[in-house]
Amino acid sequence: MKKDIAPCYYGDYLQLTKFLDSQQPLSGQYGEEAHDETLFIIVHQAYELWFKQILHELASVMSIFAEDDVKDQQLTKVVHRLKRVIKIQALLNQQIEVMETMTPQDFLSFRNFLVPASGFQSLQFKVLEITLGLKSEFRIDFDKQSFYNRLTKEHQHFLKELEQQPSLFEQVERWLARMPFLEFGDFKFWSLYRQATEEMLNEELSIIKSNSFLTEAERQQQLKEHSATRANFMALLDEEKFEKVRSEGRFRLSQQATLSALFINMYRDEPVFNLPFQFITCLTEIDEMLTLWRYKHMMMVQRMLGSKIGTGGSSGHDYLRRTTERNRIYQDFFNLSTFLLPTAILPELPDTVKKALGYHFS
């Protein structure tokens, strides 16, 4: 390492002159400057800086999963960096509370000067969504129609090319599908799982039928829900049925990837599955934090605008509500809980199987 390092000055290193001169309220160009417009600008600039850091972390994770082989040591690094992303997301959610110190009338004092600029035009946020796995085909209808039309031609071209690249979701799906701990020699885990599932469902059915506290209408409703649960279990283990429900949008992961993720979740206490379980949990939390951000954003917009349309031309609060409900990415991981078995009836893994399992296979 060089010893004759040039002196580094704090303001120069952070380029503070450029950075602190980058808040230019528009309202001052048309009369008296709106006091809260500076807050509005700084909060959104802070968002963009944190988006840049999140994308920096995700790029390093994706470079690891782009390989055919993910080493144990690499998975440790991946989990660490995704946990950092989650911490940043928590900070982004808190920033909305700072924005909410601005009253609706304070916002109206400069809002009309911003049209047609809006969060729709945040290139980094769109890159973040696509990178995680929210491509056009999985968006709500309004997004499918308007995702590109508020952007410059250059940004449109960039995002369309990005959509052709594998997302983190697709990389993770391939990684899970490569894990062949579904059958080992004479040990047929999923046959034992099906048997344990049948016993559990039959016991639950018996409880519903014998529950004297239920009205007949309540009993019929529970029987209907139990029947749907049984159908979900049967679809999980039947390739043809699985592909049918997957085509209906109830699953997004492939059957092989779904079974692998479920296996990891059920046997997460095995040392070999600890890091993969933490990794899946991180992706689940990232999706949850993103959904929470959408929800908090939606509530803030309703508070500021009521039922007015957004500056970008959307239906404002109603549009954000629909993205909160529908623009999910890792919902398959949330739904794994549907298929978990109580520890007491979980099939025991033979020692030979435990020795054969690993994080990656050649």
Cis before residue 116, ω within 30 degrees of 0?
Answer: yes
Cα distances from 124 to residues 97, 120, 127, 130, 159, in angstroms, run 22, 10, 5, 10, 10
Confidence (pLDDT) at 199: 92
Q: Could you give the residue ranges of the DSSP H alpha helices within 100-215?
A: 104-108, 123-132, 141-146, 153-163, 168-177, 189-210
Q: pTM to 2 decimals?
A: 0.89
Confidence (pLDDT) at 180: 63
Cα distances from 144 to residues 122, 134, 139, 149, in angstroms, run 16, 11, 6, 10
The count of other CB atoms within 10 Å of the CB of residue 6 is 6
Confirm if 40 and 110 have CB atoms less than 8 A apart.
yes
Give the whole-angstrom CA distance, residue 89 versus residue 108. 28
Give the whole-angstrom CA distance, residue 262 versus residue 338. 10
Confirm if 136 and 163 have CB atoms less than 8 A apart.
yes
Q: Tell me which architecture the domain covering 36-181+253-335 has in CATH.
A: Up-down Bundle (1.20)
Single out the residue of 197, 260, 253 nearest to residue 229, CA to CA: 197
- Of the candidate ranges 96-100, 248-252, 282-286, 315-319, the one whose mean pLDDT is the lowest: 315-319
**pLDDT tens track for 43-66:** 999 999 999 999 999 999 999 999
In this predicted model, which residue has the larger pLDDT, 136 or 44? 44
**pLDDT tens track for 85-110:** 999 999 999 999 999 999 999 999 99
3-state DSSP: the chain helix, strand, coil percent, rounded to 5? Answer: 70, 0, 30
The residue whose two tokens read 């016991």 is 203
**pLDDT tens track for 198-228:** 999 999 999 999 999 999 999 999 999 999 9
